[in-house]
Amino acid sequence: MKISALAVFHAGDPEQAEQDLAPFKNWGSPLIVEVGRMPYPVMNTLLDAGYPAGALNYWLSSFTRGLPDELLDTMVERFASVPSPMTGILLEHFHGAVTRVGVTDTAVPHRAEGWNLLIPSVWMDSAETDENIAWTRETHRAFSPHLEDARWLNYLGDDQGVDAVQAAYGPNYDRLLDLKRRYDPENVFHHNHNIDPN
């Protein structure tokens, strides 16, 4: 059975949280509503069981150009063909404190309020690897009319190239490349989404 879920989190005053979250708790006809106070570390581990030890995964993401109906329709259409019951299509809302940091204040430039679309594909059987990776790539391509060039570094697949890394750092890439050339010209630290100094 395929379902749609909404994970909400409020870090403010409890009374304000109740007021702000009420529309989400009452929207539509939810199968279950489990929203209540909890310590932050608990909230941060709620999805851990969905990624068991030994699971295989391939993730792709990009920031969206808003949330047009066509994007939401494509999410529903693509999710209908998902090959693994462990895979999802997520929208992460970027807002609040993260948007109050300057674009060039840190390495991460993504400071505009908006949405990041994430496709975390997860499966257990290595014989299904090609099918799951192909579905993830096809799904990401299907969203392309609605996506920005901006990418979230943590979600880049290991096979993503220089263009994806540049999209993750945006206007900060050249400054980081200069630092890399200055402090790691031999590219010792390259077991990551690398900024190649050469």
Tell me, yes or no, whether 122 and 162 share the same domain.
yes
DSSP string, 36-66: ----HHHHTTTTGGGS-TT-EEEEEEEEBSS
Residue 117 lies in a domain: yes
DSSP state of 64: B
Residue 31 confidence (pLDDT): 87
pLDDT value for 156: 87
SS3 146: helix
Residue 48 resides in a domain? no
Number of domains comprising the chain: 2
Tell me the residue length of the chain: 198
Q: Is residue 198 part of a domain?
A: no
pLDDT at 125 (0 to 100): 98
Q: Are residues 8 and 68 in the same domain?
A: no
- Per-residue confidence (pLDDT) for residue 15, from 0 to 100: 92
The pTM for the full model equals 0.88
Interatomic CA distance for residues 89 and 122, integer angstroms = 11
Output the average pLDDT for the chain.
Answer: 93
Q: Which domain holds residue 138?
A: 54-183
Residue 34's pLDDT is what? 87
Q: Within this chain, do residues 108 and 65 fall inside the same structural domain, yes or no?
A: yes
Which positions ≥6 away from 140 have C-beta within 8 Å? 60, 62, 119
Instruction: Specify whether 58 is located in the same domain as 153.
Output: yes
In a domain, 197, yes or no: no
Whole-number Å distance between alpha carbons of 52 and 115: 27
Specify whether 25 is located in the same domain as 59. Answer: no
**Domain identity same for 6 and 96:** no
Which stretches of 81-113 are assigned E, i.e. beta strand? 90-94
| pLDDT tens-place string over residues 151-190 | 999 998 878 889 999 999 999 999 999 999 999 999 999 9
- Do 13 and 78 fall within a single domain? no
| pLDDT at residue 65, rounded to an integer | 96
Q: Provide the pLDDT confidence category of residue 6 given band limits of 50, 70 and 90.
A: confident
Residue 191 lies in a domain: no
Report the CATH number that the domain containing residue 101 is assigned in CATH: 3.40.462.20
Residue at 151 is within a domain = yes
Rounded percentage of the chain residues whose pLDDT exceeds 70? 99
For residue 145, what pLDDT band results from cuts at 50, 70 and 90?
Answer: very high
Shared domain for 90 and 142, answered yes or no, is: yes
Share of the chain above pLDDT 90, in %: 73
| 126 within 8 A of 56, measured Cβ to Cβ | yes
